[in-house]
Structure 1
């Protein structure tokens, strides 16, 4: 229940920031994708059915606020979670560097996957003009990811949740 509440609060704050940021900044690439950061944290540090459901719910909440194709963000966020989960099961340590890398590629994969699913695979050949702004958004999101991971870790400790996978001896709750 604590995990649900923590990620619900952070998802609401993240969606509010992204929605408000779209009104403040005219250049969308300057707004980080906070939901992807949350999905990566769930995938790297929390295993089981509940984190997968939380990733889907965060994506679905994104669809409810800004999705032009219902379920598309839910699908892509769940895919980012699953990739993060797989990476964490293959590595002995799921540190911030791994998280930053997964966030960077997760933002790019989410955007390109959304375009491919919504408009067809053939539409990917016309994504050239969007790649610079997409790369900038992925870079900005990856840049703030360690800070978000740190804030999440602090709140997890405060409410008594473990901060990492059982395989990572440095991240177990003490």
Structure 2
């Protein structure tokens, strides 16, 4: 229950940030994808059915606020969770660098999959024009990720949740 409440608070703050800041900053690529950072933390540090359901719920909440295709963000957040979960089970130590790398590629994969599905896997896709801004957004998200991970770790310690998976 504490895990649900903690990630619900961070989800609401992240969605509020991602919804409000584009009105203040004209270049969307400068805004990090905080929801993917939360999902990667879930995948790297919390294993089981509940974290997977939380990742799906975070994607679904993103769909409710900004989804152009219903269910797409829910699907992509679940896939990012599964990939980060698999990475955490294969590596001996999952640190902030591993998390930032997964965030970087998660942002890129999520955006490219969204564009591919929106264009219907067309041969005339516009992904080439999106790549510079997308790479910048992924890099900024990866830079911000260790700070969010540390804020989550501090919040987990305060609530009595485990900061690392049991095997570490």
* 2:130 alignment partner in structure 1: 130
* 1:42 alignment partner in structure 2: 42
Whole-angstrom distance in 1 between the partners of 2:133 and 2:124: 15
* 2:13 alignment partner in structure 1: 13
Q: TM-score, normalised by structure 1?
A: 0.94
Q: What's the secondary structure of 2:32's corresponding residue?
A: coil
Determine if the alignment matches structure 1 residue 147 to structure 2 residue 124.
no
Pairwise CA distance, 1:167? 1.7
- The 5 A counterparts of 1:9-158 are 9-122=9-122, 125-158=125-158
Q: TM-score, normalised by structure 2?
A: 0.97
Q: What's the secondary structure of 2:122's corresponding residue?
A: helix
Report the count of equivalent residues.
168
Provide structure 2 residue ranges, at least 5 long, that are not aligned to the other structure: none
Provide structure 1 residue ranges, at least 5 long, that are not aligned to the other structure: 169-174
Contact 2:43 2:51 in 1 (8 A): yes
Please give the per-residue CA displacement for 1:10-64, whole angstroms capped at 9, x wherever unaligned: 0000000000011111110011000000000000000000000000000000000
Bigger mean CA offset, 14-23 vs 122-131: 122-131
